[in-house]
Every structure is written in C-alpha cells, then in structure tokens.
Amino acid sequence: MSTLPVSNTHAVDIVDNTVEMPGTRAPLVLNLETFAEVTTTVCRVAESRRAPMAWYVAFGLSLSLLGFLGFCVSYLIFTGVGVWGLNNPVMWAFDITNFVFWVGIGHAGTLISAILFLFRQKWRTGINRFAEAMTIFAVICAGLFPGIHVGRVWFAYWLFPIPNQMDMWPQFRSPLLWDVFAVSTYFTVSLVFWYTGMVPDLATLRDRAKGKLQQFAYGLFAIGWRGSNRHWHRYERAYLILAALSTPLVLSVHSVVSFDFATSQLPGWHTTIFPPYFVAGAIFSGFAMVLTLAVPARELFGLKDLITLRHLDNMNKVILATGCMVGYAYAMEFFVAWYSGAAFEKFAFVNRAFGQYWWAYWIMVSCNVITPQLFWFKKMRTSIPMMFILSIVVNVGMWFERFVIIVTSLANDFLPSSWDQFTPTWVDIGTMLGAFGLFFTLFLLFCRFLPMIAMAEVKAIMPAADPHQKKDHAHAHAHAHDHGHGHGGAH
C-alpha cells in the first residue's frame, strides 16, 4: 500500500497495522520504539523555529476570514439583524444552522476522549488531544451565533440567571434556556478535560524548552507537574471521573439542542426521534471534521507514526456507522410522517424532498447517506485522498442537514398565506465563512504551540511501558512484545 507511513530512520520496519491478526493486538505506534522518540516527534512541531510553509499560508487565509467575520459581526451589531436574510416565517436560518453545525462538530472530541476511554479503546490516544482541541474551538464558533442572533447583543447576559434591578429571571421551562446551560457546561467541562490531559505534556515541553519565553510560558501552564506517581494516582482517578461525567454530558448536549426544535409544534420539528438522531449526526460530523484536520496535520507535521492508518481506518468505520444511523433517521422521519396520518406532517416531509428546497435535501441525502457507503470497502477506508474528500463531503452534507431541518420547516408551516422563502445575504454567507476562519485560526495556533498528541497517553500504551515485559527493553518492539498477557499499561 502506497500510503503506509514509512519513517526515514527505520525504513526496514514497514507494518500494515490495519490488518487484523488473531491473537495479537495491532501496534498503535509505528517505527518509534523508545519513549524519547515519541517525545521528539511530537515536540518537534512546537519547538521548530519555523512552521512548514503550508502552515503560514493556511494561517494567513484563516486570519483573513477571521477578520471578515469581525467585520460581518460588527456590521450586524451596528445595523441590526435585518442585514441577514431572515423574514417573518423564517426567523432562524443561517445563524442557527451554523450553531447546530458547530455544536455537532464539537461532539467528536469528547466522544473520543471520554466514551472511547471508558470502552478502553487504546487507539484514541493518538487522536484525542487534537480532537478535544477541535471540540473547544467548534464550541466557541457555535457560541458565537446564539450570542449575535438575539438582536440586541448587549442584553445577551439576560440568558444567565444574574440578579438584576428588574427582578427578572430566565424562563427555566424553555429548551432555549436549557441550551444555554448545556452548551456552557459542555464548553467548560471540555476545556477542563482538555487542559487536565495536557498538563503532563506541557511539563514535557517545559523541561525541553530552550528559550526564556518558552520556559516561562510552558512552565506557567504546566503548573509544576513533575510526574509524581502520587499525583498520577489522583490524576488518573480524576480523569476517569471526568470521562464518566462527560459521557452523559456529550449525549445530553445535542439532545438539548434537538429539544429546541422537538418541543415546538412545527411540522418537521415536532418529533421524538430528534435527540438520538441529532447525537448520531453530531458524532458523524465531528468525526468527519477530525479526519479533515488529521489527514493534513499528520502529513505536514510528520506524525504518521502516531496517527497511523489504523486510526484513520477506525474513524472511517465510525463515520460509516453513524452515517447509517443518520440515514435510518431520515427514513424513519418519513415513515412516521406517513404513519402519523397528520396532514401537515406529511406535507412537511414531501415538501422537504420535492418543495422549493429540494436541492438542499438531496445534497444532504447524497452527502450523508449515499457517499459514506463507500467506506464499506477497506480500500476506501485506507485511501488517504478518498477519506479526505469524503470527510469534506460529510461536513457539507451535515451543514445542509441542519439547513433543511430549520429552513424548510419554517418556510412552509401551517398557513400557505404566511409562507415565504429564505435567501441568504452576503452577511449571512460572510458570517458562515468567517466562523471557519475563527475555527482554523485557533486550530492552527494550537498545532503550532501546544502538544498536538497526548504524549504521556501514547507512551503508556506502548509495549515498552509494560513493567512485566521481558528485560530486553532495548529491543522493546511492537512485535517482540508478548501480546498474550497484554495489558500494555494504564491509561
């Protein structure tokens, strides 16, 4: 296979770790045999004086888009929400589409770091750090939209129960308020989870730092971590508890987002399938975004030995599985609309597929249900160009899914006399693109200055980490290890 990672220093050792060998565990770290090699490979990115040229190009582009976002948002705030293409029945469109899209993307990080942790999926260690980073940046992008779509943004603090001179409080029976709590809790907990996981790796960077500024900055954020086992003991407990807390949390967040729609009485929104359907879609889109970022990042920063083809293959399997769940949900929505016998409900779904937004619906179906079926084939799951293209296709499809759900239901509700059509303005489109600028700017900064891979966790799953292995640790090797009694190490 041409896409296998081949390291220059160990050209002999080519392993296809996507092959399942009965009785053995496939190696999750290729070519790097010692802990020091892992450290060097990961730290090299943050320690090199110049980033790869592609990084500067991407950063310049993202920063320009971020600047444009600033312009669009200022224009919106100074002028009013009328600069968007919203109208009377379609009061939510690009704003909430973008919100749901970004929150959804934010789900993969916590799924990888928490749920896969509880299931003891060791391959998560290669990708969890930047998936968590991606989560945080996606939730920042998501948080922007509800904040600015309220119209008078200077009253956005009314969302929170802050005592005030008017004796007014938020309305706690509203799903929109649940959303405030769900998303802000999710953001806080994800940030804490990400940072806690990063402390040992920041300590590694601190201990290797040459410059005064690096020593100070990494030293400050590493808060004096020195790898004490008495610390590790509490740390691992805390990490396990955080994972156990984040698992229901991640499922609750998109469920609550779906309540924004499901608890209303609008045809097309008022359905009980929404919470699981939204969660599956969120994981689907999140994994696609992880792939979109992982594929170029591992090429650019030389991380192919740590983010191996097996990791990518596994992610593609998750995309396939969740894509099928999403496809099932689409079909089930149609079935229930027909089975309910409600005229409005039936109309809403026929209108989605064949009404004024038919194109958006069919983009959604082809991107989310049809093309991911290619991942049934291992050749597709292990082809780098193919998975990169498909991950972008899924991102596009999932954006359209939210657009279809939100706009088609609002544009054609109960009374034909109140129907209207939504057309985005340049500010709508600019804000949407600008959010990508915000996301990629943050992500590129993260790649450049922070440990992109959880070094401590990767080391713990290497065969050499096992204290019960044979004494010839000098040859501690992916294959030399006795996998029979394999508990390669704690997480």
Give the nearest distance from C-beta 220 to other proteins in angstroms.
7
Q: Which is nearer to other proteins, 196 or 373 (CB)?
A: 196
For residues 335 and 349, give the distance between their C-alpha atoms in angstroms, rounded to a whole number.
Answer: 10
**How far apart are CB 445 and other proteins at their closest, in Å?**
23
> What are the contacts of 483-489 at 24+ separation with CB within 8 A?
483/23, 483/24, 483/25, 484/23, 486/25, 488/25, 488/122, 488/460, 488/461, 488/462, 488/463, 489/460, 489/461, 489/462, 489/465
Q: What is the C-alpha separation between 158 and 171, in angstroms, rounded?
A: 10
CB of 409 to other proteins, least distance (A): 20
Dihedral over alpha carbons 387, 393, 396, 399 (to 10 degrees): -70
Closest distance to other proteins from the beta carbon of 235 (Å):
6
Q: How far is the CB of 98 from other proteins (least distance, A)?
A: 22
| Least distance (Å) between residue 190 CB and other proteins | 9
Nearer to other proteins, 87 or 252 (CB): 252
**Closer residue to other proteins (CB): 178 or 403:** 178
Please give the C-alpha separations between residue 298 and each of 34, 43, 100, 255, 366, in angstroms, as whole numbers: 20, 14, 28, 33, 29
Secondary structure of residue 449 in the 3-state scheme: helix
State which residue, 20 or 167, has the beta carbon closest to other proteins: 167
Q: Give min distance, CB of 119 to other proteins, in A.
A: 18
For residues 445 and 460, is the Cβ–Cβ distance under 8 A? no
DSSP tag of 16: -
In the complex with other proteins, which residue's Cβ is closer, 13 or 207? 207
Q: Which is nearer to other proteins, 223 or 350 (CB)?
A: 223
Using the minimum distance from each CB to other proteins, give the nearer residue, 240 or 389.
240
Nearer to other proteins, 259 or 440 (CB): 259
Nearer of residues 82 and 486 to other proteins, judged by Cβ: 486
Cα–Cα distance for residue pair 67/100, rounded to 1 Å = 23
Nearer to other proteins, 94 or 225 (CB): 225
Is 170 or 355 the residue whose CB approaches other proteins more closely?
170
The full 3-state SS of 230-278, as one line of letters, equals HHHHHHHHHHHHHHHHHHHHHHHHHHHHHHHHHCCCCCCCCCCCHHHHH
Nearest partner of 150 among 189, 184, 111, 177, judged by Cα: 177
- Pairwise CA distance, residues 36 & 40, whole Å: 6
Q: Which residues contact 33 (CB under 8 A, 6 or more apart)?
A: 10, 464, 476, 477, 478
Contact 313, 291 (CB under 8 A): no
Residue whose C-alpha is closest to residue 23's, from 491, 479, 490: 479
Taking the complex as a whole, how short is the minimal distance between the CB of residue 46 and other proteins, in angstroms?
Answer: 14
| Burial degree of 400 (CB within 10 A; 0-12, 13-18, 19+) | buried
Closest approach, Cβ 290 to other proteins, in A, equals 22
Phi-psi region of 202 (alpha: psi -120 to 50; beta: other; left: phi over 0): alpha
Q: Provide the sign of the torsion angle of the four alpha carbons 150, 152, 154, 158, taken in this order.
A: negative
- Cβ 243 to other proteins shortest distance, Å: 10
Cβ at position 160, least distance to other proteins in Å: 11
Instruction: Using the minimum distance from each CB to other proteins, give the nearer residue, 385 or 484.
Output: 484
CB of 263 to other proteins, least distance (A): 10
